[in-house]
């Protein structure tokens, strides 16, 4: 029915209508009565024919569908015996009542023949020519007895003694030879009479070749795609890895460049050419000029090893190692070699800002108000960076003109982080155990905890003092000695407030707009109470604002009720007080 052939073994005959494999459930109802075939355990095709002595199972050797014949053999090699069982009692044309098959060929034998029987051998039936004696046929007359004489006639098929082991049967109903000749399949006609058949087109099972032609390229394509994808993956994996490595290398190079190098004392001696050129001396040690390479000039600060327990050194390396800003000095390296400690910075040819704080008529050193304004902005940007842009807030605690260096383009660089403190950004109050800074620039609360908590506003105060210093306040108080660059700030600030409108009185430059701006901002920054001082961001906004006229003059920063001037020492340049117990 399905139009597909089936078979028992690879070499077995193809099985299709009117035959069917008995156990093939999908072909149920598709066979014709009596045409059921089975497969043996050894994959041979078998047919069961009925006889008077029970069913006879024969092996189907081939089926010729166009001629409607099938060739059978006996698995027990005794065709004559099976022949007798099947056809002994049949009518003359060997057509059984129940079987649809007719015998067409048994022996191609043109003579009459006789069936003989012997009970003691495996195949107990033999066929001989009737005209011959048993002895002529090589059979023992004692063992063999005659069973049946068959008279050869046109009805009886010819018999060939040499092919005793095959039976050839034909069938006439159902008649499918027409369909087979046309290469079509055959089936019983729907709604037809019992034996009527009709042809139909066989399902063309895709041939192996077609399957090969279609599937091989398809599977090949999939394989190639898979291999290519795998190769691509492997390639991109290794590419990514090598990119990662390059990225890491690059990072390490940059990191190395950004982070301070460690020098030995011998290096330091070599760099400074045996400490040949001294640039100056601060509270913590002397500074020497040096050369890292032909292009890189450095300033090497040798720290006094006698006084410190290493805190200043650690502080400076810790704080400065992290900062990279155009307005903050770069720490290129450090030396911690036995008792020798040194810090290596870029060299700035113009030295410290202190040198440029002078009267306007000092033509050699006065930079002009516009330049000073730019320098003030640069310092504020450096402080803003320290206060706001690093992982930790860096409080400098020693902002003053000595600690601002100027490069060859007069760009200000904040330096000297020996007193700096690293705090978390959300920390609003800082604990310091010693008052720190340079006299004249120290916020009141850093002097004494009575004036409030210490915070980033301490740097704002110092910056305010620096601004006021920049506009020439100290130099205009001519009574103070020239050598002592630090001035007691309350006294100095009082001098700024001559006149009720708080205008800064400086010879020759009265009412200069930049000057006024710097003065007002400076006064805001030195407000006695830290809370009244602006943040560095606000300071920057005020410094960069164009509408200077709108700047509001702050109240008098000194509240005379809160400080007794006489309590504050006047004769130290750098403040070193005893520890305050928190
Ligand atoms: N990177 C530098 N480039 C050029 N000159 C420098 C550099 N660093 C320091 N100097 C010079 O060396 C001198 C001493 O500097 P140092 O920072 O040790 O002391 P200070 O700031 O004057 O005082 P203190 O350390 O007590 O605050 C300064 O006057 C400065 O001009």
Residue-wise pLDDT for 321-348, tens only, equals 778 899 999 888 888 888 788 889 999 9
The SS3 assignment for 272 reads: coil
In the reported structure, the alpha carbon of residue 432 is separated from the centroid of ligand 1 by a whole-number distance in angstroms of 24
Q: Which of 416, 417, 419 to mutate to test the pocket of ligand 1 (most atoms within 8 A of CB)?
A: 416
What is the pLDDT at residue 461?
A: 93
What span, in angstroms and rounded, lies between the C-alpha atoms of 239 and 1? 61
What is the pLDDT at residue 292?
A: 85
**Interface confidence (ipTM) of the complex:** 0.96
Most confident of 173-182, 207-216, 246-255, 462-471: 462-471
pLDDT band at 560 (very low <50, low <70, confident <90, very high): very low
Mean pLDDT to the nearest integer, 441-451: 80
In the reported structure, the alpha carbon of residue 277 is separated from the centroid of ligand 1 by a whole-number distance in angstroms of 13
What span, in angstroms and rounded, lies between the C-alpha atoms of 353 and 477? 19
What span, in angstroms and rounded, lies between the C-alpha atoms of 54 and 572? 138
In the reported structure, the alpha carbon of residue 36 is separated from the centroid of ligand 1 by a whole-number distance in angstroms of 116
Higher pLDDT, 575 or 545: 545
In the reported structure, the alpha carbon of residue 403 is separated from the centroid of ligand 1 by a whole-number distance in angstroms of 7
Helix (H) or strand (E) segment spanning residue 412: strand 412-414
Task: For residue 117, give the nearest of 145, 136, 139, 138 by alpha carbon.
Answer: 145
Which atom in ligand 1 lies closest to the alpha carbon of residue 418?
A: 25
Higher pLDDT, 97 or 7: 7
Q: Mean pLDDT of all residues in the chain?
A: 76
In the reported structure, the alpha carbon of residue 321 is separated from the centroid of ligand 1 by a whole-number distance in angstroms of 18
pLDDT tens-digit series, residues 77-96: 887 777 777 766 554 444 54
Q: Which of 260, 271, 279 to mutate to test the pocket of ligand 1 (most atoms within 8 A of CB)?
A: 279
Distance of CA 450 to the CA centre of its chain: 57
Residue nearest to atom 6 of ligand 1 (CA): 351
Torsion, CA 435, CA 438, CA 444, CA 449, rounded to 10: 0
What is the pLDDT at residue 76?
A: 82
Least confident range of 72-86, 196-210, 454-468:
196-210
pLDDT tens-digit series, residues 42-78: 889 999 887 777 888 899 989 988 888 888 888 888 8
Helix axis angle, 513-525 to 369-384, nearest 10°? 30
In the reported structure, the alpha carbon of residue 547 is separated from the centroid of ligand 1 by a whole-number distance in angstroms of 36
pLDDT band at 558 (very low <50, low <70, confident <90, very high): low
Is 398 one of the catalytic residues? yes
pLDDT band at 407 (very low <50, low <70, confident <90, very high): very high
pLDDT band at 462 (very low <50, low <70, confident <90, very high): very high
Is a pLDDT exceeding 80 seen at residue 491?
no
Measured between alpha carbons, how far is residue 278 from residues 165, 285, 302, 355 in Å? 128, 11, 11, 17
Q: Is the peptide bond before 113 cis (omega within 30 degrees of 0)?
A: no
What is the pLDDT at residue 276?
A: 93
Report percent pLDDT > 70 for the chain: 72
Distance of CA 451 to the CA centre of its chain: 56
Is a pLDDT exceeding 50 seen at residue 466?
yes
Query: What tokens does 450 get?
Result: 């009575």
381 is in an annotated binding site: no
What is the pLDDT at residue 554?
A: 76
Report percent pLDDT > 90 for the chain: 20
The SS3 assignment for 102 reads: strand
The SS3 assignment for 324 reads: coil
Task: For residue 36, give the nearest of 168, 83, 25, 67 by alpha carbon.
Answer: 25
What is the pLDDT at residue 234?
A: 93
Q: Tell me how long the chain is.
A: 582
Higher pLDDT, 167 or 62: 62
Residue nearest to atom 1 of ligand 1 (CA): 347
Residue nearest to atom 29 of ligand 1 (CA): 280
Is a pLDDT exceeding 90 seen at residue 290?
yes
Which atom in ligand 1 lies closest to the alpha carbon of residue 350?
A: 4
Q: C-alpha angle 178/182/184, rounded to 5°?
A: 95
Q: For residues 356 and 409, is the Cβ–Cβ distance under 8 A?
A: no
Residues touching ligand 1 (Cβ under 6 Å) are 279-284, 287, 299, 301, 329, 345, 347-348, 351-352, 402-403, 405, 415-416, 574
Catalytic residue among 398, 407, 408, 426: 398
Is a pLDDT exceeding 70 seen at residue 447?
yes
Which atom in ligand 1 lies closest to the alpha carbon of residue 351?
A: 31
The SS3 assignment for 446 reads: helix
Residue nearest to atom 23 of ligand 1 (CA): 282
Please report how many Cα atoms fall inside a 13 Å half-sphere around the Cα of residue 169, on the Cβ side.
22
What span, in angstroms and rounded, lies between the C-alpha atoms of 62 and 14? 8
Is a pLDDT exceeding 60 seen at residue 561?
no
Write phi, then psi, for 71 (nearest 5 degrees). -105, 130
Query: What tokens does 544 get?
Result: 């960069």
What span, in angstroms and rounded, lies between the C-alpha atoms of 444 and 446? 5
Q: CB under 8 Å to 540, separation ≥6 — which residues?
A: 377, 380, 381, 384
Query: What tokens does 419 get?
Result: 């007193």
What is the pLDDT at residue 216?
A: 87
What is the pLDDT at residue 80?
A: 77
Residue nearest to atom 19 of ligand 1 (CA): 282
What is the pLDDT at residue 252?
A: 61
Q: CB under 8 Å to 245, separation ≥6 — which residues?
A: none
């Amino acid at each position: 029915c399905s139009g597909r052939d089936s078979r028992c073994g690879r070499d077995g005959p193809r099985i299709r209508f009117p035959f069917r494999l008995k156990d093939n459930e999908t072909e149920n109802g598709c066979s014709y009565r009596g045409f059921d075939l089975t497969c043996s355990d050894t994959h041979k095709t078998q047919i069961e024919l009925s006889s008077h002595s029970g069913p006879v199972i024969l092996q189907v050797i081939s089926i010729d569908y166009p001629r409607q014949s099938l060739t059978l053999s006996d698995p027990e090699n005794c065709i004559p015996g099976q022949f007798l069982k099947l056809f002994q009692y049949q009518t003359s044309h060997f057509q059984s009542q129940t079987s649809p098959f007719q015998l067409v060929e048994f022996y191609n034998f043109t003579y009459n023949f006789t069936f003989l029987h012997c009970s003691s051998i495996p195949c107990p039936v033999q066929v001989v020519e009737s005209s011959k004696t048993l002895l002529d046929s090589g059979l023992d007359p004692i063992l063999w007895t005659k069973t049946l004489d068959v008279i050869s006639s046109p009805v009886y098929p010819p018999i060939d003694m040499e092919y005793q082991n095959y039976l050839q049967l034909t069938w006439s109903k159902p008649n499918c030879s027409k369909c087979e000749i046309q290469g079509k399949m055959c089936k019983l006609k729907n709604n037809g009479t019992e034996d009527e058949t009709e042809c139909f087109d066989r399902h063309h099972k895709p041939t192996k070749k077609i399957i090969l032609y279609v599937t091989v390229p398809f599977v090949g394509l999939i394989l190639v795609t898979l291999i290519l994808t795998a190769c691509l993956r492997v390639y991109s994996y290794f590419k990514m890895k090598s990119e990662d490595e390059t990225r890491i290398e690059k990072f390490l190079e940059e990191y190395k460049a950004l982070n301070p190098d460690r020098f030995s004392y011998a290096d330091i001696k070599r760099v400074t050419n045996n400490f040949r050129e001294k640039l100056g001396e601060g509270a913590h040690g002397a500074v020497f000029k040096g050369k890292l390479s032909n292009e890189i000039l450095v300033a090497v600060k040798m720290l006094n090893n006698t006084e410190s327990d290493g805190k200043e050194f650690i502080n400076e390396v810790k704080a400065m190692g992290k900062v990279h800003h155009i307005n903050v000095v770069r720490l290129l390296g450090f030396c911690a070699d036995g008792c020798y400690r040194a810090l290596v910075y870029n060299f700035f040819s113009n030295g410290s800002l202190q040198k440029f704080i002078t009267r306007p008529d000092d033509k050699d050193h006065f930079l002009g108000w516009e330049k000073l304004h730019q320098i003030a902005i640069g310092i504020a940007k450096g402080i803003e960076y320290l206060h706001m842009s690093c992982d930790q807030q860096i409080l400098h605690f020693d902002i003053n003109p000595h600690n601002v260096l100027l490069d060859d383009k007069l760009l200000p660089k904040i330096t000297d982080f020996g007193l700096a403190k690293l705090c978390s950004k959300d920390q609003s109050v800082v604990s310091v155990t010693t008052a720190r800074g340079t006299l004249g620039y120290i916020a009141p609360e850093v002097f004494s905890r009575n004036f409030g908590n210490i915070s980033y506003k301490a740097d704002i105060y110092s910056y305010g003092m620096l601004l006021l210093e920049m506009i020439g306040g100290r130099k205009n108080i001519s009574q103070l000695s020239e050598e002592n660059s630090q001035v007691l700030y309350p006294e100095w600030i009082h001098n700024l407030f001559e006149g009720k409108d708080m205008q800064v009185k400086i010879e020759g430059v009265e009412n200069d707009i930049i000057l006024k701006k710097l003065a007002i901002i400076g006064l805001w920054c030195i407000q006695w109470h830290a809370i009244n001082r602006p943040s560095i961001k606000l300071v920057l906004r005020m410094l960069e604002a164009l509408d200077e006229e709108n700047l509001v003059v702050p109240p008098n920063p000194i509240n005379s009720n809160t400080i007794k001037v006489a309590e504050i020492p006047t004769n130290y340049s750098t403040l070193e007080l005893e520890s305050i117990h928190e």
